[in-house]
């Protein structure tokens, strides 16, 4: 069965990274310039659309996804309520993956934060005084990053609040330094500190996640809105089930 062709909506650094990495992996991918709608019909129709454009072009990406009748992987961050409503409407007809941070490292950082939160709140309920630390989130992006705090930093703070019932003491932003990003969650007790840090050195980390999400969306029959972390959860569950089946077959006499 041939791989699904990927339409990469955008011309910026992430769009180019997704297109290059997909091509290197032997996949069919086409760059679609949001500013040149006359160009969109000059390439073979893709089986899934990956939006790497900008907030002002999100509605155009959703419209193109609807016209082509293909799933949409939405990689643009900093979306407002209007953008989210547009994507929710699109999800009524197909799969829409919300992926403001596509990296596997962010997924692991978030899972680690949830685990820590669950452990310290359990210790707190068990009577361990001061088990729940003060939390703060620090994110760094280059000066060209439009909004602050980043969507990723805000979501890390919300994860902490959701799992501990306590808000982060601060969500701080730096706009300086090299391209891509750093995100740190600092957990502080009076006598010790634990940091969960994720640094991205190349957009290939996000591009790999975008390609994986695109292939998942193209093969997922059930429409609706999904987060990139739900996609990763599903991929893990699928692989775990396959491993269990393989183990069962090996154990069968």
Q: Among positive and negative, which fits the CA dihedral 84, 52, 230, 110?
A: negative
| Among 32, 38, 85, CA closest to 61 | 32
Q: Report the SS3 class of residue 37.
A: helix
**E strand intervals along the chain:** 6-9, 29-32, 48-51, 72-74, 95-98, 134-141, 170-175, 181-189, 192-200, 224-227
CA dihedral sign, ordered 102, 49, 22, 242: positive
**How far is it, in rounded angstroms, from Cα 169 to Cα 26?**
46
Mean pLDDT of 12-37: 97
- Collapse the DSSP code of 183 into the 3-class scheme (helix H, G, I; strand E, B; otherwise coil) and give the result: strand
Neighbouring C-beta atoms of residue 204, cutoff 10 Å: 16
Q: Give the C-alpha separation, 84 to 29, whole Å.
A: 26
Does residue 56 sit in helix, strand or coil?
helix
Strands of the 72-74 sheet, one edge to the other: 29-32, 6-9, 48-51, 72-74, 95-98, 224-227
pTM, rounded to two decimals: 0.90
C-alpha span between 51 and 70 (Å, rounded)? 12
Residue 253 pLDDT more than 70? no
Banded pLDDT at 1 (limits 50, 70, 90): very low
Specify whether the CB–CB gap between 202 and 36 falls below 8 A. Answer: no
List, for residues 72-130, the tens digit of each pLDDT value: 999 999 899 999 999 999 999 999 999 999 999 999 999 999 999 999 999 999 999 99
DSSP 4-19: PPEEEE--SHHHHHHH
Q: Residue 173: pLDDT above 80?
A: yes
Q: Does residue 39 contact residue 33 with C-beta atoms inside 8 Å?
A: yes
The two three-digit tokens of residue 204, written as one number: 């290939």
pLDDT of residue 145 exceeding 90, the answer is: no
Residue 27, pLDDT above cutoff 60: yes
């Amino acid at each position: 069965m041939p791989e699904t062709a990927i339409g990469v909506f955008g011309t910026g650094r992430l769009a180019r990274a997704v297109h290059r990495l997909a091509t290197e992996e032997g996949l069919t991918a086409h760059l679609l310039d949001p500013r040149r709608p006359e160009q969109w019909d000059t390439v073979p129709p893709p089986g899934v659309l990956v939006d790497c454009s900008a907030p002002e072009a999100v509605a155009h990406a959703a419209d193109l996804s609807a016209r082509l009748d293909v799933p949409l992987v939405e990689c643009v961050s900093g979306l407002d309520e209007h953008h989210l409503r547009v994507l929710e409407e699109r999800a009524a007809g197909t799969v829409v993956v919300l992926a403001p941070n596509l990296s596997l490292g962010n997924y692991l950082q978030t899972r680690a934060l949830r685990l820590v939160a669950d452990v310290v709140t359990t210790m707190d309920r068990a009577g361990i005084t001061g088990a729940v630390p003060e939390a703060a989130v620090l994110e760094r992006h280059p000066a060209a990053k439009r909004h602050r705090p980043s969507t990723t930093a805000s979501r890390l703070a919300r994860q902490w609040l959701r799992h501990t019932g306590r808000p982060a003491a601060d969500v701080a932003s730096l706009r300086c330094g090299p391209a891509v990003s750093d995100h740190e969650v600092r957990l502080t007790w009076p006598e010790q500190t634990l940091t969960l840090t994720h640094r991205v050195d190349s957009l290939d980390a996000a591009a790999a996640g975008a390609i994986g999400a695109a292939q998942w969306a193209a093969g997922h029959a059930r429409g609706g809105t999904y987060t990139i972390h739900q996609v990763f959860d599903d991929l893990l569950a699928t692989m775990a089930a396959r491993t269990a089946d393989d183990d069962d077959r090996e154990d069968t006499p």
